[in-house]
Amino acid sequence: MKQNFTRWLPAIAKNRRTALSAAGVAALAGLAFGPAAVAAPVTGGPHEGAVAAIDLATGQHRQGATVESALTTGGRTTEVSAGKPSRDELIPHGVEGAQSRIPLDDAQLANARAIIAEAKETGVGKRGAVIGIATSLQESKLYNLGHLGAYNDHDSQGLFQQRPSSGWGTPDQVTDPRYASRAFFEALRNVHGWQELPLTTAAQTVQVSAFPYAYAQWEQQAADIVQQLW
């Protein structure tokens, strides 16, 4: 059970931005300095306890735990609509290693849209959006996490598990998806040659994670999300 909960980050709502708090969390080992998250691949659905907690956090009362779509099941259309980014733009260096994939609900998709919007605003573009979404998939499974109390990694919060004590912003700021995304992308822009780096290297340079190679497993799903939501 502990492994399932550490993979799915169950909690209840902190505020109307659906930042998540500690109640209902069974365990959250793995959110480490800098910030970081669980490195183990995640391919299945959430534990039933996590489903109930996430439903409470997002205000949803679903029969199922997920929204199945091409974003979550691995299915992709063979033709890309006009104006949508190509796979070569999104994954210019190819994926590294085995890929993980999780189902997404409305809250996660809303957070993905916020990340993409800030990628456009900050000028990091489509590739930057892939890096941002892959990073958030690893750090928080695209949930806007509030403080997790005894289970928190220091004071890490939000989509990217940014630490107020490390200068990322106030707790309210880092649990604002748009602010958190902008802060991540501004840091990414300061990484020399980030566009030419493997995704996991670019993300790790910003995040300083205890699991520096974990980001790579989300590159394909992140690219699918950006391709369909851009």
Does residue 12 belong to any structural domain of this protein? yes
d(CA 80, CA 190): 32
Residue 75 lies in a domain: no
Is 51 within the bounds of a domain? yes
Residue 116 contacts residue 122 (beta carbons within 8 Å): no
pLDDT on residue 71 = 62
How many angstroms separate the CA atoms of 217 and 194, rounded? 18
Per-chain mean pLDDT for the chain = 75
Six-digit token pair at 89? 């733009």
Domain extent, residue 204, equals 2-63+96-229
pLDDT of residue 216: 96
At 81 the pLDDT is 66
Residue 154: per-residue pLDDT: 79
Q: How far apart are the first and last CA of the chain?
A: 36
Has residue 185 been placed in a domain?
A: yes
Task: Examine residue 178 and state whether it is found in any structural domain, yes or no.
Answer: yes
Residues of the chain with pLDDT under 70: 1-82, 150-153
The C-alpha angle with vertex 225 and arms to 224 and 227, in degrees rounded to 5, equals 65
Q: How many domains does one find in the chain?
A: 1
For 177-209, what is each residue's pLDDT tens digit?
Answer: 999 999 999 999 999 999 999 999 999 999 998
pTM: 0.72
Task: Report yes or no on 74 lying in a domain.
Answer: no
Percent of the chain's residues with pLDDT above 90: 55
